[in-house]
Chains A and B, each alone.
Chain A
Amino acid sequence: MNTKTAVMKQTHQKKISVFAIVCRVVLIAMVVVWIFPILFSLMTSFKTLDEFFANIWALPKQIGIDNFVKAFSQGHIGEYFMNSIIIAACSLISIEIISTMAAYSLARLRIPCSGAIIMACFAIQLLPTETIIIPLYKMMSSMGILGVKYLPIILAYVGWSIPGTTVILKNFFDTIPKELLEAARIDGSGEIRNLFKIVLPLMKGALATCIVMNFTFVWGELMWANTATLTTTEGLPLTVGLMNFKGEFGTDWPLLCAAICMIIIPLYVVFLFLQKYFVSSLTAGSVKG
């Protein structure tokens, strides 16, 4: 009896360990697939073009930063980076301020039919951008905004991001106890002060979530950025500039890799520290979908 249970236990354990090994092998293989292209492009970015064509597997003879320098001097990547940062900063600040005010009024300022407005926000998000860009381009061109550096891109990003951000922030405001605000109101605190002095300190997490969500959109968007800058070479964001790279330099792979790395590596660093907010931005946008 005793031995029997022991044997049973042993086989059971063996089974689990086999599964655990298979599980890890599959996972590690997938990790390799996931990060290999990135490591490879990092390696390639240090090579010269001749080295690359001679043997794509060989390690670079020396860690040269020529490609990175070239990406700055010939490829204007520094300029594109600055443009992207300006666009992202302006868009994010406007989105967060405007959405916070709208969400606050929807949640706590007794706006009629706020439920219907939230539904409308959801519906707007389902629309593909393709239905918007043609008239928007024409509107902006007839209003003369299109020629202004950065402005057409920022305006569109702000307008497109507000509904989703407002929904997330409204859900958050709903969790703040009404009594807190009522008490402040009785004490004679104005609404703007309520919002910025009482509510805002409580919502750092929610706001960070929204900022991360909006940032990934604004930083990576290509279709509108490309369309809005069709007639100009001024103020191109990084995504558009990167495409010019591919055209301008044909198949200078090491240079392209250097450019890709310069975009990817900072993103990975940011992601490493803010992973929590990336994940919560994913789940926050999807509650009650």
Chain B
Amino acid sequence: MTGRKVEAGRAGISTTRKLQLIGGLFSLPALAMVMFATIIPVVWNIVLSFNEWNGVTDMQFTGFSNYKALFADDASMKAIGYSLVIALIATVVSMAFGIITSLLIYKVTRVEGAIYRFVFYSPVMLPLSVVGLLFTLVLATDEGLLNNMLAAIGLGNLQQAWLAQKGLVLVVIGIVQGWRSSGTVMMLVYTGLIGLPTDLFESSKLDGATYKQEIRYIILPLLRPTIQLALSMCVMSAFKTYDIVFAMTGGGPGDISKTAPLKIIEQAFMFNKYGLASANSVFYALIVVIILFILRKGIGGEKYEY
């Protein structure tokens, strides 16, 4: 009797061990791939940022000199600034479009809503580079759609060289980027909206609340966590300022739309200043991670139960 119990116990331990062993074996490929493609490069990138390296000869440890050079380099700082501007505009645009469209779609019938959702969500699945190319056609100075449209409706004096003016080019790219990812926000907020209990709205109807009041006092407070989530997803995608900028302007004309990722790649692969490029990318990543961290943890606020 006791002997059997002991045996069973031992068997229990050995199954756990065995399962762990198999588990380790199963997750080995994943671990290897992630190590190879992410962890080792990230660590090496940090190491590289403290070294001077031209890619051919041996690395030389130089301490913080790359960072000093980076902060003293106007062009690099400007590039990071451009990325921040584009990310900010893209986030604002996509949050605004996304929330407004979802609130409007909530009020129409089911079939209509499905069509609108399909249309508004569809840009999200298009590659950013293709969206960028599509909008070079829309925004081209002479043969562009927008300028011709403005001329056709008699607003010719509003015509602009949308992608060739300092400052304006960043705004335009930001809007296009935000336009594309507004579908994400719309879908998330809409999913949250239809999850709200309907009796809440019934009682507010009885009190004679308008839709505007419902939005202000019921929907937005209750959807706060969803909106927060959408915001951090938006910010994350808004900082991907390589694909769309590369497709729309290639960083030009001149340097007026050269964002941080373009600058980093230029520093590394055109000028072979790997140390400086690494320092630049580490700094850029720090900015992105800190902003995301603040968004996720910082603005907690009270959450309502329903």
- Residues on A lying within 8 angstroms of B by beta carbon are 19-20, 23-24, 26-27, 30-31, 34-38, 40-41, 44, 52-53, 56-57, 98-99, 101-102, 104-106, 109-112, 124, 126-139, 155-156, 158-160, 162-163, 166, 185, 191, 216, 219-223, 226-227, 230, 239, 242-243, 246, 251, 253, 256-257, 260, 263-264, 267-268, 271-272, 275, 278-279, 282-283, 286, 289
Contact = CB atoms under 8 A, between A and B. Distances in A.
A35 B10 CA distance: 66
A139 B107 contact: no
Contacts of B24: 105, 111
Contacts of A136: 37, 41
A127 B108 contact: no
Given A19-B107, A222-B243, A27 B101 contact: yes
A287 B152 CA distance: 47
A52 B148 CA distance: 12
19 contacts: A20-B108, A24-B112, A30-B101, A31-B116, A37-B138, A52-B143, A98-B29, A98-B30, A105-B27, A124-B38, A130-B242, A135-B40, A137-B268, A155-B33, A166-B30, A222-B242, A239-B127, A242-B129, A282-B188
Interface stretch (B42-50, B67-75, B216-224): B42-50
Given A24-B108, A37-B145, A251-B143, A131 B42 contact: yes
B211 A256 contact: no
Instruction: Give chain B's interface residue range (CB within 8 Å of chain A).
Output: 35 or more
**Chain A to chain B: the 3 pairs with minimum beta-carbon distance, closest first:** A159-B37, A220-B127, A109-B23
B14 interface: no
Interface of B: 15-16, 19-20, 22-24, 26-27, 29-31, 33-34, 36-42, 44-45, 48, 55, 101, 104-105, 107-108, 112, 116, 118-130, 133-138, 140, 143, 145, 148, 152, 184, 187-188, 191, 211, 229, 232-233, 236, 239-240, 242-243, 246-247, 260-261, 264-265, 268-269, 274, 277-278, 281-282, 284-285, 288-289, 292, 296
A286 B105 contact: no
A131 B137 contact: no
A109 B41 contact: no
Nearest to A155: B37
Contacts of A27: 101, 104-105, 108, 112, 116
A289 B230 CA distance: 10
A265 B296 CA distance: 37
B247 A243 contact: yes
Contacts of B282: 131
Contact of A216 (B30, B125, B229, B288): B125
Nearest to B278: A134
A267 B125 contact: yes
A246 B133 contact: yes
Contacts of A106: 23, 27
Contacts of A110: 16, 19-20, 23
Given A98-B33, A139-B44, A239-B127, A126 B119 contact: no
Contacts of B26: 101-102, 104-105, 109, 191
Contacts of A52: 143
B289 A158 contact: no
B141 to A, nearest CB: 11
A146 to B, nearest CB: 12
Contact of A131 (B45, B119, B134): B45
A57 B148 contact: yes
B34 A162 contact: yes
A282 B229 CA distance: 11
Give the one of A104, A159, A221 with max B CB within 10 A. Answer: A159
A37 B137 contact: yes
A243 B112 CA distance: 37
Nearest to A220: B127
A129 B260 CA distance: 12
Contacts of A263: 127, 130
A44 B123 CA distance: 20
Contacts of A243: 129, 246-247
Contact of A130 (B116, B269, B284): B284
Contact of A138 (B39, B188, B274, B289): B274
A159 B36 contact: yes
B55 A138 contact: yes
A15 to B, nearest CB: 8
Contacts of B296: 289
Nearest to B105: A27
Contact of A156 (B37, B138, B292): B37
Contact of A219 (B127, B137, B288): B127
